[in-house]
Structure 1
Amino acid sequence: MGCDACLPIRTGYTVSFQQSRDAKKLEKYFKDISQNQWKTLGEDMIWMREDIFWDFMDYVHQHLDPRHVWAVEAKQRSPFENLRRMEPITAFQKMKDALWIDELIEDKRICSYYQPIVSVNHERVHIVGHEILSRGLEEDGSIIPPFKMFEAAQIRNKTFALDRACRLEAVKNASIIDHQLIFINFIPTAIYNPEHCLASTFTLIKELNIKPEQIVFEVIETEDVQDIEHLKNILNYYRSHGFKYALDDVGVGYNTLNRLLEVEPDVVKLAFEFTNGVSKNEKQKKVAQEMLAITHRMGAQALAEGVETKEDLKCLIEMGYDLFQGYYFAKPNPKPLKEIHSIYV
């Protein structure tokens, strides 16, 4: 079950020819293509399914003048709806180059990596949970970094579908983590209606017998959140079902310290920009201390991510941070770690 935003739905394009003779040349091109995949819209306009459109672009570049062929995305039942937004067909090259993300989502070529989240008590490191990080898979099994996936998804308007696919894969792979916190990322702008958009996620969690109190849904791209009421609606929906939630990359972008009071998260993650080198930078220390004070006043836990050195870790421990994450403890792994060795605090 899903809407057009979160599932890969086939669409199409309305194509206009500024030179009528170009349209006539296409009779031979379309003669072997099934009629249910395209239709004429008068003498100088054609609607065609998306998969036909991408091959058609190659034909235009080889046999016509691309400057005189314009197009716009449109559904078959309303091919004239977006004519004012038509662009030269050359403008769609980036979308064509990003087509691989559609196949990746449909083929579910997504895997999970695990990075431990730890507490430090009496100079001993304890794993309290893992953040599940999504990676794409090439057809040969090689890894596609997340930024590349979401960059392509944004171009193809598939951010919603990719976020959903990554979230479901993370939940599926969370079942091997026992009695620890499980941090799962989500993009709030990819969720229109929590009750509808999160139904498949909640169903899978229940089927896998994962305890709701283990799950911490982590808001990523925090600085891009414009509709705070919509975010609060999503987070309240999570909490009403027994889940926790965290804010990621706090301190970056907008004035997140003030917004913390509005959404009341269970965990607040100080951004890498303020943890890396914090032991030697007074401005970073000030931000870290302010965020810590607000977080603790709310009764939430403060997590410092991106910890890479012993000096920074000691500094953050002395400030009073509760949880830590970063390469100093472990890089993301294909399997969750059971314990961490050779760490000196």
Structure 2
Amino acid sequence: MNIACANCAVTMEYHDTGYFFLHNAQNDSVPLEGYASQLEDGTYVFLYENLNVLYEKLVRVEKLLEEDGWTCSINCINQPGSVMEVGKFMLLMKHREMVEMIQDGKFTSHLQPIIDLRDYSLFGYESLLRAEDHSKKINPGALFEVAAVTGFHSMLDQKARKSAIECREGQVNPGIKSFINFLPSTIYNPEFCLRHTFKIVNEVGVNPEDLVFEVVETEKIEDVEHLRSVLDVYKREGMKVALDDVGSGFATVEMLTLLKPDYVKIDRSFINHCDSVPENQEFLHKVIQIATELNIHVLAEGIEREEELLFCKKIGVHYAQGYFIGKPDPEAKEPFAQSQFV
């Protein structure tokens, strides 16, 4: 059964030249000069020869158009395309480069090694989103912020998961885990929204047990029941789940019992100089105690010094990642490739 998700963004094609349409249900006079014609329903039609010039003209009357409830669209032919509110259109114009990148889906993943602290062997890789065109330096955080305000966060999150799964082919061996970030807020209905991800897993032929889907910015989660429903669907399909950036808010018996993650990744602020900062040590001991009781594995991220690595191993942290172990790379590099540690 096909279900249309109203929460997914409507895509927009940016035409450098073409037609711009403005419509108002009250048939108000258009506050923008230079329209070429008017359709039967009252829609004003403007010809434009440069999209940036059109944007600059609209900026001057944007507030007025929004207040009066104008809708708009652009097209390369004299026929309205996807109609949207003026405010939404202006956001898509303002962030054009990133929106086009999201719509085109030209992404790849860089891989950062994760080790087993028992013997420093390779345990897995975290997949980190990057532009396929290496000349385009994108900040994933900024990209997701733009996706959120423009309504493309579900599309971006889905494509990021796709890239992370596909990048295993030919370079990550079976049995090695892939930690894949996802935003619970983009998954409105896990039974429906995750079908695309599970389809890719089947097509690529990855063992579901080799995939660990990790919640980013765990401490900002407000709807814990929704998060639990998302994690349950992943686990039902044979995949593992992790909570990323875990701090004091989620490091409780009640919260971890409710969510039942396979892994918790400790917020790097607690790893920084954990070998010498008593407050960090106290927090780590607490997490390890709770995790042991609940059969949850603990991963320390953001390890940049040998002393931090050795301390985490000493107190019973199971896994670790960070620049000291290995930086994100387009290729699946071995841990400590640039270090004499092992």
Global fold match (TM > 0.5): yes
In 2, Cα distance between equivalents of 1:135 and 1:24: 40
1:128 pairs with one of 108, 123, 132: 123
2:296 equivalent among 285, 300, 303: 300
Q: 1:171 aligns with which of 165, 174, 185?
A: 165
Matched to 2:333, the amino acid is L
Corresponding residue for residue 79 of structure 1: none
Q: Is structure 2 residue 100 aligned with structure 1 residue 98? A: no
Match of 1:229 among 211, 225, 230: 225
Q: For the Cα contact (< 8 Å) 1:137–1:143, is it kept in 2?
A: no
CA distance in 2, matches of 1:17, 1:116: 56
Deviation at 1:14, TM superposition (A): 6.5
1:88-237 matches, within 5 Å, as 95-121=92-118, 124-137=119-132, 141-175=135-169, 176-178=171-173, 179-237=175-233
> Of the candidates 280, 285, 292, which is equivalent to residue 284 of structure 1?
280
CA contact (8 A) 2:31 2:65 kept: no
Q: Secondary structure at the match of 1:115?
A: strand
Letter in 2 for 1:172: E
Q: Following the alignment from structure 1 to structure 2, what is the Cα–Cα distance between the partners of residues 295 and 7?
A: 39
Matched with 2:11 is 9
Matched letter for residue 162 of structure 1: L
Kept after mapping to 2: 8 A contact 1:98/1:155: no
Q: CA shift at 1:132, angstroms?
A: 0.7
- Alignment of 1:27 onto 2:41: no
Aligned amino acid, residue 109 of structure 1 = K
Letter of the structure 1 residue corresponding to residue 218 of structure 2: T
Tell me the equivalent position of 1:245.
Answer: 241
Return 5+ residue gaps in structure 1 as ranges: 77-85
Q: What secondary structure sits across from 1:116 in the alignment?
A: strand
C-alpha displacement of 1:69: 3.6
Q: Give the direction of change, closer, same or farther, for the CA distance of 1:311–1:67 in structure 2 (3 Å limit).
A: closer
Aligned 8 A contact 1:98 1:152 in 2: yes
Q: Is the 8 A contact 1:116 1:325 kept in 2?
A: yes
Per-residue deviation, 1:239: 0.9
Report the AA paired with residue 246 of structure 1: A
* Local SS of the residue matching 2:117: strand
Kindly tell me: are residues 24 and 264 of structure 1, through their superposed partners in 2, closer, same or farther at Cα, counting changes over 3 Å? closer
2:267 corresponding residue in structure 1: 271
Cα deviation 1:186-235 (Å, max 9, x = unaligned): 11111011121111111111111100111111111212221111111111
Give the number of equivalent residue pairs.
318
2:192 is paired with a residue whose SS is helix
Whole-Å Cα distance in 2 between the matches of residues 338 and 24 of structure 1?
60
Cα distance in 1, alignment partners of residues 61 and 183 from structure 2: 41
**Residues 301 and 320, structure 2, Cα contact 8 Å, conserved in 1:** yes
Distance 1:19 1:172 in 2: 50
**Is contact 1:303–1:321 with CA below 8 Å preserved after alignment?**
yes
SS state at 2:275 partner = helix
Q: Is contact 2:263–2:296 with CA below 8 Å preserved after alignment?
A: yes
Alpha-carbon RMSD across the aligned residues, in angstroms, is: 3.6
Whether the aligned pair in 1 keeps the contact of 2:31 and 2:61 (CA below 8 Å) is no
Q: Which moved more, 1:52-61 or 1:197-206?
A: 52-61
Displacement, 1:262? 1.0
Q: Which amino acid is 1:108 matched to?
A: G
Distance 1:19 1:6, change over 3 A: closer
CA pair 195-65 structure 1, distance change in 2 beyond 3 A = closer
Distance 1:305 1:73 in 2: 48
d(CA) in 2 for partners of 1:136, 1:118: 26
Aligned residues: percent identity? 27
Give me the whole-angstrom Cα distance separating, in 1, the residues matched to 2:24 and 2:52. Answer: 15
Mark the CA change 1:9 to 1:19 in structure 2 (over 3 Å): closer, same or farther.
closer
The structure 2 residue matched to 1:59, chosen from 57, 72, 85, is: 57
SS of 1:217 mapped into structure 2: strand
Conserved 8 A contact 1:5-1:158: no
Instruction: Quickly say closer, same or farther: Cα 1:70–1:275, change in 2 above 3 A.
Output: same
Matched with 1:330 is 326
Structure 2: runs of 5+ lacking an equivalent: 14-19, 74-84
Q: Is the 8 A contact 1:125 1:340 kept in 2?
A: no
Query: What is the DSSP-based 3-state SS (H/G/I as helix, E as strand, rest coil) of the residue aligned with 1:27?
Result: coil
Q: Secondary structure at the match of 2:167?
A: helix
Per-residue deviation, 1:277: 1.1
> Tell me, what secondary structure is at the counterpart of 1:333?
coil
Contact 2:209 2:240 in 1 (8 A): yes
CA distance in 2, matches of 1:213, 1:223: 26
Q: In 2, distance between residues paired with 1:327 and 1:302?
A: 18
Give the CA deviation at 1:8.
4.3
